[in-house]
């Protein structure tokens, strides 16, 4: 090793703390930004699907809730018929329990 | 010449439109690309932006990338060119400021990772006093530990010019840091 090489070798060792070393979070952030920028633009079908998917989901939820609501109203108002009494000619006839 | 068959396959996939394959290439070279940018612009935020820009630019021109070539020097060259543009822009900006005769704070304050280290700070200050290309070549050689051929590949300088810059830088650094290394 020449004297010049030796000088640079020592300088390299002493200059090592000057090296910039980004942390993993920084590297992950840069990678995500790169992926975002190079991702192909969405097609028309994908754009429409993105709009309609939440709309269809909302309509489905409303329909299910309406169905459940109607069913509970029906069951709530109808009186249970367990026993029917029929009076005919002074006699009482009972149908049911 | 690309000696890494996995990398060659990744490049071929990216050239065929597989954007996800590009992430593996980014992962392999990102740390080094950020470091090269930092060596030139001396600002962490700018270095990160430049690395991002370089990878996007490389992706957009991947169709022109020569099959069988290594991706490292290519992306290194792209980020170096972008970083040199930033440095030139700053120099122009500073000259305009001086022309206006109005004091202004430095816009490119470096975020030095080791200023508390006196020895490293002295070396950093000595490097900063070198002329632009000597400084960049010396930083790439001393701090990023790039060899002559690698520096030539990323800067676009000839091997002889790189050696010449390093030789001049060595002489000046020896003189500036004589009290430390004699």
- Smallest Cβ–Cβ distance between B26 and the set A17, A31, A40 belongs to A31
pLDDT of residue B3: 74
Residue B45 neighbours by CB under 8 Å, 6+ apart: B111
CB contact under 8 A, B113 and A14: no
Residue B1 neighbours by CB under 8 Å, 6+ apart: B68, B69, B70
The 10s digit of each residue's pLDDT in A38-78 is 987 777 887 788 888 888 888 988 888 888 888 877 776 65
> What DSSP string describes A16-80?
GGGS----HHHHHHHHHHHHHHHSPPPPHHHHHHHHHHHHHHHHHHHHHHHHHHHHHHHHHHSPP
The 10s digit of each residue's pLDDT in B74-124 is 999 999 999 999 998 887 776 666 555 444 434 344 455 545 568 899 999
Domain B114-182: top CATH class: mainly alpha
Residue ranges covered by each domain of chain B: 1-111, 114-182
**How many CB atoms lie under 10 A from the CB of residue B116?**
9
Query: Smallest CA–CA separation between B176 and chain A, in Å?
Result: 12
Query: Smallest CA–CA separation between A9 and chain B, in Å?
Result: 8
Interface contacts A/B by beta carbons within 8 Å:
93
pLDDT of residue A46: 77
The 10s digit of each residue's pLDDT in A22-39 is 999 999 999 999 999 998
Q: Which residues in chain B show pLDDT less than 50?
A: 101-110, 114
Q: Does A30 touch chain B if contact means CB atoms closer than 8 Å?
A: yes
Residue ranges covered by each domain of chain A: 3-78
Mean model confidence pLDDT for chain A? 83
Domain B1-111 has CATH 1.10.1740.10: yes
* pTM, entire model: 0.72
pLDDT of residue B171: 94
- A84 DSSP β-pair partners: A95
| A6 vs A12: CA distance, rounded Å | 10
ipTM: 0.79
| B143 vs B42: CA distance, rounded Å | 12
pLDDT of residue B47: 96
């Amino acid at each position: 090793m020449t004297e010049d090489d030796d000088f640079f070798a020592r300088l390299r060792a002493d200059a090592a703390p000057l090296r910039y070393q980004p942390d993993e979070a920084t590297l992950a952030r840069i990678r995500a930004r790169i992926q975002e920028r190079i991702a192909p633009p969405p097609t028309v079908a994908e754009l429409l699907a993105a709009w309609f998917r939440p709309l269809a989901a909302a309509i489905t939820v409303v329909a299910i809730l309406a169905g459940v609501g109607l069913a509970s109203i029906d069951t709530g108002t109808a009186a249970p018929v367990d026993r029917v009494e029929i009076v005919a000619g002074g006699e009482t006839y009972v149908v049911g329990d | 010449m690309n000696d890494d068959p996995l990398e060659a396959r990744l490049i071929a996939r990216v050239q065929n439109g597989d954007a996800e394959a590009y992430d593996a290439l980014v992962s392999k070279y990102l740390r080094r690309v950020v470091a090269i940018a930092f060596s030139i612009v001396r600002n962490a935020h700018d270095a990160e932006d430049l690395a991002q820009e370089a990878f996007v630019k490389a992706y957009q021109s991947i169709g022109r990338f020569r099959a069988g070539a290594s991706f490292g020097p290519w992306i290194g060259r792209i980020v170096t060119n972008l970083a040199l543009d930033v440095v030139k822009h700053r120099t122009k900006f500073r000259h305009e400021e001086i022309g206006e005769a109005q004091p202004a704070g430095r816009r490119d304050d470096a975020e030095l990772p080791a200023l508390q280290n006196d020895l490293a700070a002295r070396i950093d200050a000595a490097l900063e006093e070198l002329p632009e290309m000597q400084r960049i070549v010396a930083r790439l050689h001393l701090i990023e530990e790039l060899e002559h051929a690698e520096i030539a590949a990323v800067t676009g300088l000839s091997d002889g010019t790189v050696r010449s810059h390093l030789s001049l830088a060595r002489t000046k650094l020896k003189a500036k840091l004589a009290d430390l290394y004699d």
